[in-house]
């Protein structure tokens, strides 16, 4: 009997050209040729650069007459040096396109390399939206193909990239509409090897994107619709993918949920991310795991502003009661099922640095998108709650 996951296949054109389904990685060389790539650079992370799925992709490209270079030094939380070194590798190899291959760090770095390869200013000059719009030269940007190997960030369909500024230990975001990849190859089979802990953390990242997109006040009903369906997919399929990593139906639906989260959060994010960014910058924590730890505490803080939205969400998710509390209880129970820690202690966050984290979180760009205004005192309140495990 045919595996049901093999029926989950499609060619989509939203938010970019997407080739979704098991086995679609075989179309990588064809995609390169469609975009005119004759010598692309494959950008991936340190953990994947020697993985058979990367080496096989390069080998398959070469067999189809598309010689492909490799830059594989990207860290789990990519830093500015990763971007700069990637740009140097792109120029040295005289490449004409980028294949961003991996999880969010590799996808962000690949998109960043392509965007920055033709710029004359240093990358930090573009880490401000208004400045980026004025400075960016988009006339001859090389094309980008994304190949996701996790189901979390949704960076495969995003127009932004996040890097740590080593000098200030802060995460900086480069955003430009021209950073949208030309083609996304979304093959759920590439996520089968993810360990349960990584499946859980990346899946909670997808949930955080959908949840914060729904909560933010910016008017965008289309994004809201994508966000709530993305959360339904997480509810139905993340526990299954966590229990059985070979469940291709669960893997496929979680890959969709991740892309949906990134599509929805063009509407905005919030203080889950504002708190998570400095923690990741300072302590090198996994981004999705950090979002998961902060999630219920930010929800509880935002309750007065989002109660009606959460009631509607609870009904859509078929929770026992159409209430805010039902959503909060579901999030906490989901974390427990996925063995996500309840407090900051598990992330190695020193309690004597709470004031510093509160200041950094309040300055993060995502803080301005939170449905409740949060300055350093409010951020400190949530940090203290997350440290104590108090909801």
CA angle, 318 then 320 then 326, to 5°: 95
Neighbours of 52 (CB within 10 A): 10
Tell me how far apart the alpha carbons of residues 145 and 114 are, in angstroms, rounded to a whole number: 10
Count of other CB atoms within 10 angstroms of residue 372: 16
CA-to-CA distance for 252 and 254, rounded, in angstroms?
Answer: 5
Query: What pLDDT is stored for residue 128 in this prediction?
Result: 86
What is the four-CA torsion angle of 355, 360, 361, 364, rounded to 10 degrees?
A: 170
- For residues 371 and 305, the answer to whether their CB atoms sit within 8 Å is yes
Task: Please tell me the distance from the alpha carbon of residue 118 to that of residue 108, in angstroms, as a whole number.
Answer: 17
d(CA 192, CA 22): 11
pLDDT in tens, 375-386: 999 999 999 999
Average pLDDT, the chain: 96
Res 1: pLDDT? 42
Rounded CA gap, 309 and 316, in Å? 11
Asked whether residue 162 carries a pLDDT value surpassing 80, the answer given is yes
Mean pLDDT value of segment 322-335: 98
Tens of pLDDT, residues 140-152: 899 999 999 999 9
24: how many CB neighbours lie within 10 A of its CB?
A: 22
Residue 28 has pLDDT above 70, yes or no: yes
DSSP state, 170? E
What domains are defined for the chain?
A: 4-190 (3.40.50.1970), 196-388 (1.20.1090.10)
| Confidence (pLDDT) at 5 | 75
| Structure confidence at residue 141 (pLDDT) | 93
Q: Is the pTM of this model over 0.85?
A: yes
Q: pLDDT by residue (tens digit) across 52-85?
A: 999 999 999 999 999 999 999 999 999 999 999 9
Burial zone of 278 (CB within 10 Å; 0-12 exposed, 13-18 middle, 19+ buried): buried
For residue range 261-282, list pLDDT tens digits in order. 999 999 999 999 999 999 999 9
């Amino acid at each position: 009997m045919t595996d049901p996951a093999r029926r989950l296949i499609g060619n989509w054109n939203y938010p970019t050209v997407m080739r979704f389904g098991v086995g679609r990685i075989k179309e990588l060389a064809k995609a390169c040729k469609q975009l005119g790539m004759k010598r692309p650079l494959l950008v991936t992370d340190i953990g994947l650069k020697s993985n058979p799925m990367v080496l096989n992709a390069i080998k398959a490209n070469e067999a189809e007459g598309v010689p492909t270079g490799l830059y594989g030094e990207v860290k789990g939380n990519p830093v500015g040096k990763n971007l700069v070194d990637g740009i140097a590798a792109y120029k040295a190899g005289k490449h004409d396109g980028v294949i961003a291959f991996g999880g969010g760090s590799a996808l962000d770095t690949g998109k960043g390399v392509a965007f920055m390869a033709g710029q004359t200013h240093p990358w930090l000059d573009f880490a401000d939206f208004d400045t980026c719009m004025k400075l960016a030269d988009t006339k001859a940007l090389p094309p980008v193909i994304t190949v996701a190997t996790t189901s979390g960030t949704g960076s495969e369909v995003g127009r932004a990239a996040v890097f740590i500024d080593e000098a200030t230990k802060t995460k900086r975001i480069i955003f430009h509409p021209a950073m949208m990849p030309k083609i996304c190859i979304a093959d759920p089979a590439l996520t089968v090897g993810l360990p349960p802990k990584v499946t859980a953390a990346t899946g909670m990242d997808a949930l955080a994107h959908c949840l914060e997109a729904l909560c933010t006040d910016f008017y965008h009903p289309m994004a809201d619709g994508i966000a709530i369906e993305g959360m339904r997919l997480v509810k139905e399929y993340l526990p299954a993918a966590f229990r059985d990593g070979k469940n291709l139906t669960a893997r496929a639906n979680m890959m969709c949920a991740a892309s949906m989260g990134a599509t929805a959060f063009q509407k905005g994010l919030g203080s889950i991310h504002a708190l998570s960014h400095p923690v990741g910058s300072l302590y090198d924590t996994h981004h999705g795991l950090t979002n998961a730890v902060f999630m219920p505490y930010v929800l509880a803080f935002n309750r007065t502003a989002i109660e009606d939205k959460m009631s509607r969400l609870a009904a859509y998710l078929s929770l026992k009661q159409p209430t805010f509390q039902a959503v909060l209880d579901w999030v906490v129970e989901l974390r427990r099922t996925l063995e996500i820690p309840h407090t900051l202690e598990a992330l190695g966050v020193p309690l004597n640095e709470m004031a510093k984290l509160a200041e950094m979180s309040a300055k993060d760009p995502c803080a301005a998108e939170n449905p409740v205004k949060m300055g350093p005192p409010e951020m400190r309140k949530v940090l203290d709650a997350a440290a104590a495990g108090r909801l």
